[in-house]
Structure 1
Amino acid sequence: ENPHQLQQLIRLPGQQYDEESGLYYNRHRYYDPLQGRYITQDPIGLKGGWNLYTYPLSPVNSMDPLGLYEFKSKNIDDIGIFALAMCNGESINENKEYGGLICKKQGEYFPMNPISSNDNDSVDLRNIKCPEGSERVGDYHTHGFYSDDKGNKVTKENDVYDSLNFSSKDLTNSYMNGMGKKEYSSYLGTPNNTYLKYNPKAKGNGVTIIRQGSN
């Protein structure tokens, strides 16, 4: 029974059910669950694999958030940039924080899908775990847009959260999450679309710019 007519629209990672068509929307194309494949070819061609219509073969351990291809890399910064590119634009438009984990398996890094919370100025990653057989080696999150103390969008000059930088809480959480690990990196997407990296194990303040946005 469903007296409140609640709906669960989330399907495979990165997909949302489209009631009108009966297909799963993946931003760049639609997935047909009856056929177990996308209805159009992969717009990035063979870069996504030899089968132009497939979803990643292991949706538990992999992801295809844009309907393009399963993204893994031996360079963690590539994953940080990719993960932030998935959600920072939406975060800015909605003025809501998004975030997720970065995992590693057999020498390759991959991101988990971004999540958000009802609290627009934070996102809680404490209850998320990397897939079995992989380890957590990083995280990423966004800061939405410039805001006042009530969460309203404001100009850069009136921002009360210092949204262009990691907060002290961000840095502390990253340091704590990295304790006992050989490597750990945190990535931040900001309102001007600059991407920052914090390595709690690096010398100095550990913060570097990995993608420069607008001023």
Structure 2
Amino acid sequence: MSLDSVIGAAAAAVRDIAAAQLTPARDNPRYEQVVDTLVSPDATQAQRNHAYDLVAGIETADKVCYTDEALTERAAQVIADDRTVPVNVAEVAPLVPPGTTLGPFASGDAAAIAMMEYSNPLSIQANLENGGLVMRDNATGQYYVTTPMGGTLDGFDPSQVTQPDGMELVGCYHGHADYSKADGTRTDKAGDEFNSDQFSAQDKRVADGGYWGSVIYVSTPSGDFRKYDSATRQDTVIN
């Protein structure tokens, strides 16, 4: 091997050592488990690394050694507030307050579907509507959705949800509870008096009027997720 080759190999080794020293270690099994629980499998490695760093900083910042359960709960809020790491909605949503903004998602439909997969069973179980907002970040073009807030047997009021600064309202989503009689008594599909598997006329008027964006989504007792777009007047099943 020539002298130049030896020098080059040595320089490369030094660079590799320097790079390794600059790369933070992300090998704490507690933090890795929290990331595995809260972060979407679709997240990039860079996003997972960022989530790990957020989790790792919690106990240092708070000067507390949390139990694993408490650390996961605390991390859910920190990651949600950061808004750059795609989350596992089913795991994060129960750990943050109703109306919390989660994202990013690639589209409004993806945001609504991810949240309705979580919120629809809750709506059916309680036999009460629930819902939230679907929004777009004007700075990044990415989409966000809020965790469900409660409604009544036959309605949900989006005005109770706080819209974060910098977010453009795209639409809203809500769940139609269970098949019911007018007095709230549960029944089957044949006995349902709310036409729960379809949009109500009021739902479509909300979208047509642009009160909460131009799109409205609904999850139904049958398990269908529907989208009504006032721009096209199209009502479609999206799941």
Scaled by the length of structure 1, what TM-score is found? Answer: 0.68
In terms of fraction of residues, the more helix-rich structure is 2
Alignment of 1:145-164 (within 5 A): 145-164=178-197
Name the amino acid aligned to 2:147: N
Higher strand share: 1
* SS of corresponding position for 2:105: coil
Q: Which runs of 5+ in 1 are unaligned?
A: 1-36
Instruction: Give the 3 Å change call, closer, same or farther, for CA 151–60 of structure 1 in structure 2.
Output: farther
1:87 equivalent to 2:119? Answer: yes
Following TM superposition, by how much is the alpha carbon of 1:60 offset from its aligned partner in structure 2, in angstroms?
Answer: 7.7
Residue 113 of structure 1 aligns with an amino acid whose one-letter code is T
Residue in structure 2 matched with residue 73 of structure 1 by the alignment: 105
Aligned to 2:210: 177
Q: Is residue 146 of structure 2 the alignment partner of residue 112 of structure 1? A: yes
1:201 equivalent in alignment to 2:234: no
1:71 positional shift: 2.8
Are positions 1:190 and 2:204 aligned together? no
Contact 1:61 1:131 (8 Å CA) reproduced: no
Note the C-alpha offset of 1:74: 2.6
Q: Does the 8 Å contact 1:178/1:200 carry over to 2? A: no
CA displacement at 1:190 relative to structure 2: 0.3
1:137 aligns with 2:170: yes
Whole-Å separation in 1 of the counterparts to 2:111 and 2:92: 15
Aligned residue number for residue 66 of structure 2: none
Bigger shift: residues 162-171 or 60-69: 60-69
Instruction: Name the structure 2 match of 1:210.
Output: 238
1:102 pairs with 2:140? no
Structure 1 residue 130 displacement after superposition: 1.6
Question: Aligned-pair distance for 1:61?
Answer: 5.9
Deviation per CA, 1:175-212, whole angstroms, max 9, x where unpaired? Answer: 11269x7xx3211100011000000001xx4101101x
Aligned partner of 1:116: which letter?
A: G
In the alignment, the residues of structure 1 paired with residue 205 and residue 112 of structure 2 have an alpha-carbon distance, to the nearest angstrom, of 19
- Cα 1:124–1:60, aligned 2, differ >3 Å: closer, same or farther? farther
The 1:126/1:41 distance shift into structure 2, 3 A limit, reads: closer
Whichever of the two has the greater Rg, that structure is: 2
TM-score normalized by the length of structure 2: 0.62
Task: Tell me how far apart the structure 2 counterparts of residues 46 and 112 of structure 1 sit (CA, whole Å).
Answer: 16
Q: In the alignment, what sits opposite 1:31?
A: none
Identify if the C-alpha distance between structure 1 residues 149 and 185 changes in structure 2 by more than 3 Å, giving closer, same or farther. same
**Amino acid in structure 1 at the alignment position of 2:129:** E
C-alpha contact 2:80 2:103 (8 A) present in aligned 1: no
CA-atom RMSD in angstroms: 2.8
The one-letter amino acid of 2:121's match is G
Q: Is the 8 A contact 2:224 2:237 kept in 1?
A: yes
Q: Residues of 2 paired with 1:111 and 1:194: CA distance?
A: 19
Alignment partners' CA distance in 1, 2:189 and 2:147: 29
The one-letter code sitting in structure 1 at the alignment partner of 2:191 is N
Do residues 43 (structure 1) and 77 (structure 2) align? Answer: no
Partners in 2 of 1:46 and 1:79 — Cα distance?
A: 13
